[in-house]
Structure 1
Amino acid sequence: MEQHTLSPVDGSIYVSRALSSTEEIHATIERATQSQKEWQSTSLETRKSICKQAIANFVNNQQVIRQELTMMMGRPLTQTQGEIAGVKERALSMIEQAEQALATITLADKPGFTRYIKRVPFGNVLVIAPWNYPYLTAINAVIPALLAGNCVILKHSAQTPLCSERLVQAFEGTGLPHGVFQFLHTDHPSTEHMIQHPQIDYVAFTGSVAGGAMVEKNAAGRFIGVGLELGGKDPAYVRADADIDYAVETLVDGAFFNSGQSCCGIERIYLHESIHDQFVEKAVALTKQYRLGNPTSSKTTLGPVVRTSAADFVRSQIEDAISKGAVTHINESLFSESKPGTPYLAPQILTNVDHTMRLMTEESFGPVVGIQSVFSDEEAIALMNDSQFGLTAAIFSSDVPTATRLGEHVETGTVFINRCDYLDPELAWTGVKNSGRGCTLSTIGFEMLTRPKSFHIKSLND
């Protein structure tokens, strides 16, 4: 049975791949199991060296990778360089952090005893990666899992199957033992079967809330770890004392980069009433400068969303908001490529919105943002927290101490002050509520991919 990837660029079949059979899945997991002890016994320095070489190989192949990325998920070719650079930054940062993160914890002297805690790998880690930032989301788990001594099986979205192949290919010729890092192309039932497999010891999943529930359901009863990075409806609050021009530039990009298809993209903006009109006027003017079109063109700054059904979902949110009194500020006719029945969708800004509208409560994952006026910090924080999600939130203010204090009351995994839509590999990447659980990146991310093993040794010579 084959799986076909339809390109959002032109609707054609861009790549087809045979789905892995049950026998192939079991053989892949068995290879990982057979290789894991050898990999675990390999020195950390060797593991780091292998990962560094693989990342160098990946970067050296970026021209091919960037073209494939554009055709599979629609991001403008001129913007794909950022994902390559991000993979390099995150991977090298995690390699640098590995020694500290994986170090044995030595306890204070206790006469007659030696005591310490080691961090040991789980064994086989299944990484399930999405299509929107297919390399960045995968690398968050793949590199630290390998550095920790785990074997990794990577399964990418059916929209971006070549990504798993390119990552595994990057490790060829690096000295990585056979079976340590492999990929599989599977459908939903086979993916569930893998999660249930007794030789899968940890699952790292990035995707939808429904997908996260599927992972938890299939892992239930085996007492294995799962890391879940799920949805977001990430808000920003612009205080009266903020630098308006800077906030507009940052938040418009945060809302519309990658056609709004980012788990930590800005989907809701709350403005202090004193700056509302000024901010909206500038944001609308900047948004009109985007160029929607074929993402292979150097003139395009906004590509299609991943598929027509995703565009239709955003259109339905906009229609719902308008029916309840929202006001649109972008004339769709300015973007001639935007057409019903296609994944090409004009960016849109709406005001006079509230939380009775789907636009302000459901994850949009498209080039649309709602802007709501507030009269106080307290109202802004209450609205930011009025969500089933809690991945990131941003506060813009010239008074950083006050903004930081406000951030203490925001229910998210990350609080940004005067920036948004960015992952720092030295900070923990985590969410609360329906945005998931667990953590990637930072030294804490390594803790998710290892287990503590205590040694309590009594001397018999004293």
Structure 2
Amino acid sequence: MTETVKLKSPIDGSIYAERPIATDQAINAAVERAKAAQADWVRIPSAERGKYMLAMLEALVAMNDEIVPEIAWQMGRPTRYGGEFGGVKERVTYMVEIAEQALKPMMASNPKEGFRRYVKKEPLGVVMVIAPWNYPYLTAVNTIVPALMAGNTVILKHAAQTLLVGERFAQAFEKVGLPKGVFQNIVMNHAQTERLLGSGKIDHVNFTGSVAGGRAIEKAAAGTFMSLGLELGGKDPAYVLPDAKLDFAIANLVDGAFFNSGQCCCGIERVYVHEKVYDDFVDGFVSLTKEYVVGNPLDQATTMGPMAQARFADLIREQKAEALRKGATAHINMKVAEDRAGSPYIPPEVLTGVDHQMSVMREESFGPIVGIMKVRDDEEAIALMNDSPYGLTASLWTGDADRAASLGDRIETGTVFMNRCDYLDPALVWTGVKDTGRGAALSPIGYDNLTRPKSYHLREAI
């Protein structure tokens, strides 16, 4: 009997899609195709590779009317938000635009007469992308496009929860005539993925997901010497300083905490507010949060759909219950008919009276709950922001850029925001510290992680 992957929709619990898992023979054949195709793909000039990427982008955008409800059925994001292709376009076009400069050889800084000395950036070979469900297009293109631009070939294994996204990428690349074997979408189970990573046939893997998943990837790849890009857990903090423009900070932090039902890699999960503005901030934050409408994501009135799976929502329920037992106060307590144990539908929640003895302030929530703490000064805020095993982004809300930069130097994080959150700028490297992972994506540095240096020391005169 053929093993399949079943995609259970969070909307109504129905099986929205089902696909057979590839056989081991099919997986091996795909890897061989990728290796063979890479030898020809690398000889195509980067400008020509860029044309394929931009044409692929156009093909994806042309599918958007079908893709938006498809995403809602797969992982629950409301259709009113219109999909991900604004960000996808920004990232794809930027990485194509900088490719030639980012990939050009580096000349030796001390010229020597009679010698030509430089370092080329060679593609790694076959790159595997293991993509997550929360932003299934945005996260995937972070690696797919620069990997292909650098002359690698790509094998995509998308999350089971967003099974159809990999097929959409494959359709787009096929439509624009990408050479066979350069990009392949494969449905695999965990055991097959681990075996493939341990086979030595993959040259680089990029994984976005849980810390446990990242450890499993490292273990599977041990001894192969392949390179890894891992974006794992997060517990991103915000600090609201006394000079912050409160209305602006409140509007952006509410959105940063609850957009996509809080299922954002760099979403706001904890907020520290200076005591001088704490009461006003909490009042405004609670008031705005109460405006959310939880329901069927296909309904245009819905601003918060279900979480992708019921077990994710149950974790939020557990974190809230634990916090309340330890003395926290819940401010929203919104009544939603479907909100019960075992249901993916859950309303947003704002907690005060929280501390770092509660899991909601320490462990990744990845859902629509946020704790707000009062702090006396910058020192207390920085200590609390750094009191975490994770470090992806941190945001500071102030009118003083110099102060933000100075504080940012002391925060253990991959990105420091000022008056912004939950955003990824493709011109800046996307990376994390501590248990958030290793490696880097986007920006010119992202190309360095998808290539290897090769030195040329040529004596011209003998």
TM-score (norm: length of structure 2): 0.98
Q: 2 CA distance for matches of 1:353 and 1:80? A: 35
Q: 1 CA distance for matches of 2:127 and 2:199? A: 11
Counterpart of 2:90 in structure 1 is: 89
State the Cα RMSD in Å. 0.9
Confirm or deny: 8 A CA contact 1:232 1:389 kept in the other structure.
Answer: yes
CA shift, 1:100, in A, is: 1.1
Q: Show the 5 A alignment for 1:300-311.
A: 300-311=302-313
Q: Are residue 146 (structure 1) and residue 133 (structure 2) matched?
A: no
Counterpart of 2:123 in structure 1 is: 121
Q: Show the 5 A alignment for 1:136-285.
A: 136-285=138-287
Among candidates 40, 60, 66, match of residue 64 of structure 1:
66
CA shift, 1:68, in A, is: 0.9
Q: Are residue 48 (structure 1) and residue 50 (structure 2) matched?
A: yes
Confirm or deny: 8 A CA contact 1:332 1:338 kept in the other structure.
Answer: no
Question: Is there any run of 5+ residues in structure 2 with no aligned partner, and where?
Answer: none
Deviations 1:292-323 (A, max 9, x none): 00000000000000111111111000011111
Confirm or deny: 8 A CA contact 1:234 1:268 kept in the other structure.
Answer: yes
**Partner SS for 2:351:** strand
Q: 2:317 is matched by which residue type in structure 1?
A: R
Q: Show the 5 A alignment for 1:375-394.
A: 375-394=376-395
Confirm or deny: 8 A CA contact 2:273 2:374 kept in the other structure.
Answer: yes
Q: Are residue 328 (structure 1) and residue 342 (structure 2) matched?
A: no
Q: 2:354 is matched by which residue type in structure 1?
A: V
**Partner SS for 2:273:** strand
Q: Show the 5 A alignment for 1:322-401.
A: 322-333=324-335, 335-401=336-402
**Partner SS for 1:159:** helix
Deviations 1:9-56 (A, max 9, x none): 110000000001101110100100111110001111110111111111
Q: Are residue 291 (structure 1) and residue 293 (structure 2) matched?
A: yes
Counterpart of 2:423 in structure 1 is: 422
Q: 2:311 is matched by which residue type in structure 1?
A: S
Deviations 1:328-384 (A, max 9, x none): 001222x34433321000100000100000000000010000000100000000000
Q: 1:271 is matched by which residue type in structure 2?
A: V
Q: 2 CA distance for matches of 1:54 and 1:3? A: 26
Q: 1:101 is matched by which residue type in structure 2?
A: A
CA shift, 1:84, in A, is: 1.4
Identity, % of aligned pairs?
53
Counterpart of 2:409 in structure 1 is: 408
Q: 2 CA distance for matches of 1:287 and 1:173? A: 43
Q: 1 CA distance for matches of 2:260 and 2:129? A: 23
CA shift, 1:80, in A, is: 3.6
Q: 1 CA distance for matches of 2:177 and 2:138? A: 23
| TM superposition outliers: structure 1 runs of 4+ over 2 Å | 335-341
Aligned in 2, Cα 1:286/1:336: closer, same or farther, shift over 3 Å?
farther
Confirm or deny: 8 A CA contact 1:237 1:394 kept in the other structure.
Answer: yes
Q: 2 CA distance for matches of 1:399 and 1:198? A: 50
Q: 2:438 is matched by which residue type in structure 1?
A: R
Counterpart of 1:452 in structure 2 is: 453
Q: 2 CA distance for matches of 1:128 and 1:392? A: 22
Deviations 1:407-432 (A, max 9, x none): 11000000000110000000000000
Paired residues in the alignment total 459
Q: 2 CA distance for matches of 1:155 and 1:238? A: 39
Q: 1:262 is matched by which residue type in structure 2?
A: C
Confirm or deny: 8 A CA contact 1:292 1:337 kept in the other structure.
Answer: no
Q: 2 CA distance for matches of 1:201 and 1:270? A: 42
Confirm or deny: 8 A CA contact 1:292 1:338 kept in the other structure.
Answer: no
Q: 2:404 is matched by which residue type in structure 1?
A: A
Counterpart of 2:436 in structure 1 is: 435
Question: Is there any run of 5+ residues in structure 1 with no aligned partner, and where?
Answer: none
CA shift, 1:174, in A, is: 2.3
